[in-house]
Amino acid sequence: MNNELTEEQIERVGDYIMGLLSKEERMAFEQQLIVNPVLQAEVNLQKEVILLVEEAEDMRLKEMLKEVDLEAEDKAEDSTGGRKWWLVAILVLILLGIAWLVWKGQEESPERLYAAYFEPYQNVLVPTVRDAGVPLDVLEAFQAYEDGNYETALLAFNQLPVEVQKPDYELYEALSLMQTNRVGEAIRLLQVLKNNSDSQFREHAQWYLALAYLKQGNTPKARQFLEGLVENKSAIFEKKARELLSKL
Binding site for another protein (CB under 8 A): 7, 10-11, 14, 18, 41-42, 45-46, 48-58, 61-62, 64-66, 68-69, 72
CB of 53 to another protein, least distance (A): 4
Identify which of residues 46 and 232 has a Cβ nearer to another protein in the complex. Answer: 46
Return d(Cα 83, Cα 79) in angstroms, integer.
8
Identify which of residues 54 and 108 has a Cβ nearer to another protein in the complex. Answer: 54
CB 213 within 8 A of CB 221: yes
CB of 21 to another protein, least distance (A): 14
Return d(Cα 208, Cα 241) in angstroms, integer.
11
CB of 29 to another protein, least distance (A): 17
Identify which of residues 68 and 124 has a Cβ nearer to another protein in the complex. Answer: 68
Identify which of residues 42 and 140 has a Cβ nearer to another protein in the complex. Answer: 42
Identify which of residues 68 and 116 has a Cβ nearer to another protein in the complex. Answer: 68
Q: Which pairs with CB-CB distance under 8 Å and at least 24 residues apart come from 117-120?
A: 117/211, 117/214, 117/240, 117/244, 118/178, 118/208, 118/211, 118/215, 120/145, 120/148, 120/175, 120/176, 120/179
CB 202 within 8 A of CB 193: yes
